[in-house]
Amino acid sequence: MLKKTILALQFIFPLLLTQCFPAMGQAPNPLLDVKDYQIYYEHVNDEKAKQLGTFDMVVIEPHEITKERVSKIKEGGAIALGYISIMELQDWDEEFVAKIQEDDYLKVNGEKVYVEDWDTYLMDITNKHYQQLLLDEIEEEIIQKQFNGIILDTVGDIDDFYSNDKELATHLRNGYVEVLKAITEKHEDLLLLQNWGFETLKTSSKDYVDAIMWEGFNKERLTNSRWGQNWINYFQTLQKENNIAVFTVAPNKSSVIYSNKQGFVSYENNSSIYN
């Protein structure tokens, strides 16, 4: 009888621990504690660094800030994330562009893919040389400047351009995951915030990132949108069950309030310029 009792306790005790402490075994995600944040892509001087440090989280263009000012922001209590473009070439970054090879460009039917809205080109995230360029950029601009993490931008291009081409979308998502694995294997404590790319997140990257950002979170468009409501429900579940934080960029105050009601942390900005 005693042996049976011991065996029963061996089964019940771990079960009770799991029920009482569901988060045990999961690494804590500090982004879930963020209550406010700001995106700022202009040059950061000492005064601006002090101001940005008053937020829980800030998203910054790393080329526009020094290591010392990143430290000042963090001393203020903010989590500092640096911007990295994943799928689009930033033509203004001449040093990075100089390292680009012809095969680094994404080509469909033998042609480069031009992004008219931003006057740039899509890059082949599956290309090993381009992957290494991104990893080198992260080392130089994110790690050496001691950011807490990265905002992974332009990932949404995979969904925007190739949602109807499953084979190519899957191919690009696999390349993106290879980059995420390389980042997390070398810097396991680095926080990763993905901007847009909802299908890519759902199918491929949710196990590697700590947060998702939803730019253009507009209450007027989302309230009666089946698409919008489905994604809101999905992200609420993701936040609860997968420990992934959800951030929105809203165009007006009513959209900020609506976002907060969904349990998401919002930042009000009515344009695509963050200055």
Q: Where does the pLDDT of residue 196 fall: very low under 50, low under 70, confident under 90, or very high at 90 and above?
A: very high
Q: Average pLDDT, stretch 186-212?
A: 97
- C-alpha 168/C-alpha 271 separation (Å) is 31
Checking if the pLDDT of 66 tops 50, the result is yes
Mean pLDDT is lowest, of 6-10, 52-56, 157-161, 252-256, for 6-10
Q: Where does the pLDDT of residue 18 fall: very low under 50, low under 70, confident under 90, or very high at 90 and above?
A: very low
Q: Average pLDDT, stretch 144-163?
A: 97
- C-alpha 90/C-alpha 83 separation (Å) is 11
Q: Where does the pLDDT of residue 209 fall: very low under 50, low under 70, confident under 90, or very high at 90 and above?
A: very high
- Average model confidence (pLDDT) for the chain? 91
Q: Where does the pLDDT of residue 274 fall: very low under 50, low under 70, confident under 90, or very high at 90 and above?
A: confident
More confident residue, 184 or 15: 184
According to the model, what pLDDT value does residue 26 have? Answer: 59
- C-alpha 147/C-alpha 167 separation (Å) is 35
Half-sphere exposure of 132 (CA within 13 A, CB side): 6
Domains and CATH numbers, the chain: 34-209 (3.20.20.70)
* Interval 69-107: pLDDT, tens: 999 999 999 999 999 999 999 989 999 999 999 999 999
- C-alpha 196/C-alpha 119 separation (Å) is 20
According to the model, what pLDDT value does residue 270 have? Answer: 82
